[in-house]
Amino acid sequence: MQSTTPDAVKADAAQWFEHHWDPELPLGRWWQLLADAGLAFPSWPQGFGGRGLSASATKAVIQARRDAGAFGPPNGVATFLAAPTIMHYGTQAQQAKYLPQIVNGQDLWCQLFSEPGAGSDMAGLATRAIRDGDEWVVSGQKVWNSGAQWAKYGILIARTDPQQPKHRGITYFLIDMEQEGVDVRPLREMTGDAAFNEVFLNEARVAESDRLGDLGDGWRVAMTTLSHERDPDNVGLGETAAFGSVDLDVTVNDHRSALSSKIDGFSLALSGGITKVLDDVTRQFDALDDPITRQRMAKIIEMRRTSTWSGMRTAASAKSGGQPGPEVSTLKLLGSELGRQIRDVGLETMGPHGMLYGEDAPSGGLFHAYSMFTPAQSIAGGSDEVQRNIVGERVHGLPREPGEKEQRELPWSELPRS
């Protein structure tokens, strides 16, 4: 592009989509074309699916794609968590090995952070990684691992030095999920879906070359990952389904048709697809004829606008500083509240129909699937309570919990555990 102003970028992108978009292309071929043109994730670096564009120019590209009716890039843990972290901390060899297969949708990833005894206090994790020559041997249990049953790789944090304080003895790894020693067990949720899993690691192997960041610096690397997870305007959050196996050989049309029949609440939340579903519901029930509902919809629109504006500032800060700061927790809180507002307006709009569930419900049950998922938005990626602590302590400079400083300096091996 000769100019990177939003208008010029949008015009250039619109011309590209006019010449290249074809719903009869194989899905893998379409995603590769997007990546090669730098239009998959426009703010990412050139050569990795992007063009290094600003937040406003990136939004212009996305709008051009929507105007053309073109299918979006891959979505999921690989694109909105693994890739940004690898771009920030990965060696050139790691970036060359992993990023191309992320941007073209070939490799799916999962996140192996939380444990049964280390949820909100994630730094208390007990999964161990012990050095064995040029490899690490990993044993332990992880839980709430989205999409792990389909993942080829995982981003993993494990304890490498139990004699260090809990935040300083952790290291970050990129692990092969398809090896012996990795046992994935899906967890059925109240939505009826099984997007989450528990993962048991029994002497699984990770090459030293797949350690991400410095030894013992895994907590800082993990905070980068979580800052991206908490950012609702993360450019890696696409509009396509976030989880599930993918056949890259089927046409885009066939893939899109298959998705429409099995979309889940998790993907609707991550992709932003609930916006259209809410609009459809309010039209179906003539909800905007009611002044109170109009006022509540106006509130939702304003919350979206606030989130977008704040997200653009966060993205600009991240581009200059390398990663989002603790302020992104305010966006995470805003996203959780926005989800609750959308849920309540939609269900109340439906009246008695709001008690239905499944394909016979309005919108084919899509809105109800999202509504059942909304409690998870206040938990996943750090609970609302954790986010408020982060904002209070790291943004406003309020004191930490009594005794927390002393506990943070104790060796992990000496900490009390249930």
Catalytic positions, written as ranges: 229
Q: What is the DSSP letter of 192?
A: S
| Rounded CA separation 41/58 (Å) | 8
- Asked whether the beta carbons of 189 and 171 are under 8 A apart, the reply is no
> Which residues on neighbouring strands pair with residue 182, listed in sequence order?
201
- Label the pairing between strands 109-112 and 135-143: unpaired
Q: What type of residue is 244?
A: G
Question: Three-state DSSP class for 1?
Answer: coil
Q: What are phi and psi of 110, to 5 degrees?
A: -135, 170
Calculated CA dihedral for residues 65, 66, 69, 75, nearest 10 degrees: 80
- Label the pairing between strands 153-159 and 170-176: antiparallel
HSE, side-chain direction, 13 A CA sphere, residue 290 = 13
Q: What is the DSSP letter of 211?
A: E
| Rounded CA separation 92/86 (Å) | 10
Calculated CA dihedral for residues 45, 94, 220, 111, nearest 10 degrees: 100
Which of 26, 32, 20, 6 shows the shortest CA–CA distance to 69? 20
